[in-house]
Chains A and B, each alone.
Chain A
């Protein structure tokens, strides 16, 4: 195999797949990325068995077709360091020589024939959604999903489609983020739980630019995302997601409206003095203000007051400020709405068009 190509293009394409090979694995061959060259284009393919990604690059000159494995970590690092506009890649045996300007680098890969084959995909059901919309939906919800691998389905996001409406839901049991969008996808309802990792890789692989449609195809146990030159196939998680609609409060004693960016700023300030042991900020809604306070015994105390329009009795409620900040950060509203009842009932935050965040308070015992 021998190719000539633009360095920047190659680097961009490689970065789509470069994050997929696992750092640690009992099968070290998957720490490589497969490079296949034919018909004046090249394909990069990487997999960790659960998630695979493929990216095609057209603007290359293939002097000699063929395949080679590139060690993912070193190749990424090397491509970042090179600065000449063009590169030449040439493989021999299981080695790949990269020439750039006056430099020459040899990367030792492995036998391409041993590399896992691209997965066969069983999907039939296809949805289309502008990629920027979908990525925004992922950003609005993924932070709320559980980090731990072990808690059943909730270290993934639920994709819940029904009658032209796609919902994305993330929860870690303490908070829940829900967002939705109108999309093309037919009449049949569909549900799937997609691993957070897959969605993060997707965020990295496809830029926000362009209003290209992202094609999502759902299979029994797999999901595929395809956008332009990029295709990803991932295993789904077990379809056991908590009954999320039940935890979204439908009624509340008080409804409050506050300025979002001011709340975010103030919350950050007050949170400085919420102790490291129990991250907690007290919210007290008075008739036309919101009093924020936090205390860290032995360190200090913060009190802050801001305008709020309060409909209802208001009252006191405490939250982990980090949980709320996560959501305020991705909200694009000027004024947000809070519906709350008491310190044992979840509070509901309306953070954007079709964007709801539910947060469980911290209470005294």
Chain B
């Protein structure tokens, strides 16, 4: 039953522009259909929705009495009391959408519920409400919004071309649909079918239709539960990372929403895989009790606020990270193995060592020589152009004339994904340009960047060491006093407890100042003031979580240390050093990228080589 909300509830509701463009009309109408339990939703656009938008569903429908209230502002069946605002399970809750459409367009709702023998309809044109009249129709609802902004020509002028509006709507519908695999969606544009998403397909199948095969082929499944919190969906492999965050999508209880904190946590999980500045691709659904998330923060309902943001962030981070890690170890079919030397790799100074008994390891430096390497061969690829393949994450280079039978995207050598290091360790290789090791495997070629790989190994070593130890605080004898903006100060003090657990001790110093009493001992050489300034720097979101920022500062330190203590391009390594490094790499969590996100290894399968040499034609 639709009720008019009591005024105090109305005031609690974030008011604002509900309808800006055809896009928002479709969003509101489709959400209404989903709230009404529809199994099938059809959206029809005429001239990108500028002329007419129709949304048809097979949901619960309106009774004639409900129809009477449909265009009344703050009339909703979804919320009655103020307390209800705390646990909104439906997509709509303001009772605002239809009312605003009725005031800026010619709107008609025709609907029939299960119990009614016949349907009814009502119109509202520019705010002028019509009568409820009988009108035959099947069960469900048809909402038509014609001549959007006919009475506000100024706003009409802001609309883009029909094509542009339609493209946005198609993207939107796809995104709404990704969260509702049980619903059948159709988009009709100017009489033709633009998109059809049958119910019951898998998320990956739907992804193929919505964003294309390339993305759908490079995503990894995620499903993690933590108490009453669940995260599931797909995360993209690093190689499909993008410049923008348009495919970094998050749904909270089925609602497509932005949440900077959670999104930052996911980005952080990707950090080691991605080149600086590229954005991950992910399709993650967070499910949680509705009373633990506030959806009423943004007029377009596109932002949310969590009761326990840290928990959500932790879980999405965890989920993304685990999925990526697990995926990194999945063997690629058909990869051949090289003969692995029987000899146990030795620990060498400054290079990877084997775990094991602290005092039992063979620490002697083995004299060089006698290796299987063809020493001193400086290999140079003479077909540079073909081998210059670009790092994953960067745009694939245009190939001048790809063989017509091969899809261009398929000819790129892939960053290795199988446990390649364990297999090549001990194998024969040549050192090229004093930087790359080139291994011939049964399956093709493997090229390793020694600096990038060593950096990765060092980084994980440093981090493991750090993670294993409890946070320690270097206390300050003389507290350092820092002046901050009011917002920054409030934010910092609001997170004081969290930060203290990680070793940063701050408290109020009165006025605009805070006093720093201790810093994480790992960062003891960093100036306390700059640490705090970097924590609050660029704080544009009061909800930003403090912990990821602090961790970032810590991790940053490991990056630079790992880089500094790694073998460089030009350092020639002994066979046994190479072997030991590969051994340790094979045990790394993310061996395939250096901490800055560059690949450490590239594989060229026999097939790929054939393509390079155009033997496939």
- Chains A and B come from one and the same complex: yes
Interfacial residues, chain A to chain B (CB-CB below 8 A): 148, 150-151, 154, 171, 173-176, 242, 244, 247, 275-280, 296-298, 300-301, 318, 320, 344, 346, 358-365
A174/B474 in contact, CB under 8 A: yes
Any A CB within 8 A of the CB of B480: yes
**Interchain residue pairs A-B with the least CB separation, the first 7:** A242-B478, A278-B521, A360-B475, A360-B477, A297-B465, A173-B478, A365-B471
* Contact string against A for B residues 347-362, beta-carbon threshold 8 Å, 1 for contact and 0 otherwise: 0000000010010000
Which one of A242, A320, A346, A363 has the greatest number of beta carbons of chain B within 10 Å? A363
Which residue of B462, B472, B527 contacts A364 across the interface (Cβ within 8 Å)?
A: B472
B524 at the interface (CB under 8 A from A): yes
Interface size on B, residues (CB 8 A): 32
Question: Chain B residues near A171 (CB, 8 Å)?
Answer: 477-478
- Asked if B474 and A360 sit within 8 Å, CB to CB, the answer is yes
Q: How many contacting A-B pairs (Cβ < 8 A)?
A: 91
A277 touches B462 (CB 8 A): yes
Residues 521 to 556 of chain B near chain A (Cβ within 8 Å): 521-522, 524, 527-529
In contact, B473 and A173 (Cβ under 8 angstroms): no
Which applies to chain A's interface (DSSP): helix, strand, loop or mixed? loop
Taken together as a complex, chains A and B put the C-alpha atoms of A245 and B501 apart, in Å, by: 30
Q: A278 touching B469 by the CB < 8 A rule?
A: yes
Contact in complex: A365, B501 (CB < 8 Å): yes
Contact yes or no, A298 B465, CB < 8 A = yes
With contacts A173-B478, A277-B522 known, what are 6 further pairs, Cβ within 8 A?
Answer: A173-B528, A176-B477, A278-B472, A298-B461, A362-B473, A365-B473
| In the complex, B1 has a CB within 8 A of chain A | no
Cβ–Cβ contact A363 & B473, under 8 A: yes
Known contacts being A151-B529, A300-B358, is A363 close to B478, with CB within 8 Å?
no
- In the bound assembly, the distance between CA atoms of A348 and B20 in angstroms comes to 68
Contact partner of A320 (CB less than 8 A), chosen from B471, B474, B502, is B474
Chain B min CB distance to A249 (Å): 10
What does DSSP make chain B's interface, helix, strand, loop or mixed?
A: mixed
B503 located at the interface, meaning its Cβ lies under 8 Å from any Cβ of chain A in the complex:
yes
Query: Measured between C-beta atoms, what is the minimum distance from A193 to chain B in Å?
Result: 14
Q: In the docked arrangement, what's the CA distance between A277 and B478, Å?
A: 23
User: Could you tell me if A360 and B471 are in contact, using CB atoms closer than 8 angstroms?
Assistant: no
Query: Which B446-473 residues have C-beta < 8 A from chain A?
Result: 461-462, 464-466, 468-473
| Alpha-carbon distance A174/B517, docked complex (angstroms) | 10
The residue of chain B having its C-beta at the shortest distance from the C-beta of A363 within the complex is B473
Q: How far is the CA of A363 from the CA of B469 in the complex (A)?
A: 12
> Beta-carbon contacts of B216-252 to A below 8 Å, as 1s and 0s?
0000000000000000000000000000000000000
B-chain residues with CB within 8 Å of residue A300 when the two chains form the complex: 358
Q: Is the CB of B477 within 8 A of A175?
A: yes
Q: In the complex, A361 Cα to B472 Cα: how many Å?
A: 10
Alpha-carbon separation in the docked complex, A364 to B502 (Å):
9
Which residues of chain A are within 8 angstroms of B479 by Cβ–Cβ distance?
173
- Of A151, A174, A276, A277, chain B has the most CB atoms within 10 Å of the CB of A277
Give the Cβ gap from B584 to chain A, nearest Cβ, in Å: 12
With most chain A CB atoms within 10 A of its CB, the pick from B469, B479, B503 is B469
In the complex, per-residue mask of B469-502: 1 if CB is within 8 Å of any chain A CB, else 0: 1111111111110000000000000000000111
Q: Which of B461, B466, B474, B477 contacts A362 (CB 8 A)?
A: B474
A297 near B472 with CB under 8 A, answer no
Partner of A150, one of B462, B502, B521, B527: B527
Pairwise interchain contact A151-B480, C-beta atoms closer than 8 A: yes
Q: With contacts A275-B465, A278-B522, A365-B501 known, is A344 near B475, CB below 8 A?
A: yes
Are A297 and B469 also in contact (CB < 8 A) when A278-B522, A320-B524 are? Answer: yes
The CA-CA distance from A244 to B477 in the complex, in Å, is 9
Tell me how far the C-beta of A363 lies from the nearest C-beta in chain B, rounded to whole angstroms: 5
- Closest B residue to A300 by CB, please name it: B358
Specify the chain B residue showing the minimal Cβ separation from A298.
Answer: B465
Which residue of the partner chain, among A247, A359, A365, contacts B478 with CB atoms under 8 Å? A247
Rounded to whole angstroms, the CA-CA distance of A151 and B465 in the bound complex is 31
Evaluate contact between A364 and B470: CB separation under 8 angstroms: yes
In whole angstroms, what is the CA distance A353 to B93 when docked? 77
Q: How far is the CA of A296 from the CA of B561 in the complex (A)?
A: 16
CA distance in complex: A318, B475 (Å)? 11
CA distance A154 to B476 in the complex (A): 14
B475: A residues at CB distance < 8 A: 174, 344, 346, 360-363
Q: Is the CB of B476 within 8 A of A364?
A: no
- Closest beta carbon of chain B to A52's beta carbon, Å: 30
Cα of A360 to Cα of B473 in the assembled complex, Å: 10
Instruction: Report the bound CA distance from A175 to B358 in whole Å.
Output: 34
CB distance from B189 to the nearest CB of A (A): 59
Contacts of A148 in B (CB 8 A): 527
Is the CB–CB distance between B471 and A364 below 8 Å? yes
| Nearest chain B CB to A295 CB, angstrom units | 8
In whole angstroms, how far apart are the Cα atoms of A346 and B518 in the complex?
Answer: 12
With both beta carbons as reference points, the residue of chain A lying nearest to B519 in the complex is identified as A174
Q: Which A residues lie within 8 Å of B500 (CB)?
A: 365
Within the complex, the shortest CB–CB distance from B280 to chain A, in Å, comes to 28
Residues of chain B within 8 A (CB-CB) of A278 are 469, 472, 521-522, 524
**Min C-beta distance of B293 to chain A, whole Å:** 30
| Among candidates B468, B474, B477, residue contacting A297 with C-beta atoms closer than 8 Å | B468
Provide the residues of chain A in CB contact with B461, threshold 8 Å: 298
- Bound: A234/B335 CA distance, A: 71
Most buried by B among A278, A279, A361: A278
Can you report 7 A-B residue pairs in the complex whose CB atoms are below 8 A from each other? A151-B527, A174-B474, A297-B465, A361-B475, A362-B524, A363-B472, A365-B500
B464 lies within 8 A of A365 (CB): no
Contact B502 A365 (CB under 8 A): yes
Q: Measured between alpha carbons, how far is A150 from B476 in the docked complex, in Å?
A: 17
Most chain A CB inside 10 Å of its own CB: which residue of B473, B478, B501, B527: B478
CB distance from A176 to the nearest CB of B (A): 6
A318 to B502, CA, bound (A): 17
Whether A364 contacts B473 in the complex (CB less than 8 A), given A173-B478, A173-B480, A275-B465, comes out as yes
Tell me, in angstroms, the Cα distance from A174 to B470 when the chains sit together. 21
CB distance from A36 to the nearest CB of B (A): 42
Task: Please indicate the chain A residues that have their CB under 8 angstroms from the CB of B501 in the complex.
Answer: 365
Closest-by-CB residue of B relative to A275 is B465
> Which A residue's beta carbon lies closest to that of B501?
A365
Q: State the CA gap A358–B475 with chains docked (Å).
A: 12
Encode B290-322 as 1/0 by CB contact (under 8 A) with A.
Answer: 000000000000000000000000000000000
Interface centre among B358, B470, B472 (most CB of A within 10 A): B472
Closest chain-B Cβ to A171's Cβ sits at a distance in Å of 6
- Report the minimal beta-carbon distance from B461 to chain A, rounded to whole angstroms: 7
Cα A280 to Cα B524 in complex, Å, equals 11
Tell whether, in the assembled complex, residue A298 and residue B472 are in contact, meaning their CB atoms are under 8 Å apart.
Answer: no
Q: How far is the CA of A280 from the CA of B472 in the complex (A)?
A: 9
Residues on A with C-beta less than 8 A from B462 are 277
Measured between beta carbons, the chain B residues less than 8 angstroms from A365 are 470-473, 500-503
Query: Min CB distance, A177 to chain B, in Å?
Result: 11
Asked whether, in the complex, the Cβ of B522 is within 8 Å of the Cβ of A358, the reply is: no
A-chain residues with CB within 8 Å of residue B473 when the two chains form the complex: 362-365
Q: Which residues of A contact B477 (CB under 8 A)?
A: 171, 173-176, 247, 346, 358-360
Q: Are B464 and A298 in contact (CB under 8 A)?
A: yes
Residues of A within 8 A of B470 (CB): 364-365
Q: How far is the CB of B23 from chain A (nearest CB, A)?
A: 48
Q: Measured between alpha carbons, how far is A269 from B462 in the docked complex, in Å?
A: 22
**A361 vs B517: C-alpha distance when bound (angstroms):** 12
Chain B residue at minimum C-beta to C-beta distance from A148: B527
- Looking at B471, B475, B479, the one whose CB has the most chain A CB atoms below 10 A away is B475
Which residues of chain B come closer than 8 Å to A362, judged between CB atoms? 472-475, 521, 524
Distance in Å: Cβ of A94 to nearest Cβ of chain B: 43
**With A and B bound together, what is the CA distance between A280 and B502 in angstroms?**
17
Cα A344 to Cα B358 with chains together (Å): 32
CA distance A176 to B477 in the complex (A): 8
Which of B355, B465, B522 gathers most chain A CB within 10 Å? B465
Please give, as numbers and ranges, the residues of chain B lying within 8 Å of A275 by CB-CB distance.
465, 469
Tell me the nearest residue of chain B to A301, going by C-beta. B358
Please give the distance in Å from B459's CB to the nearest CB on chain A. Answer: 12
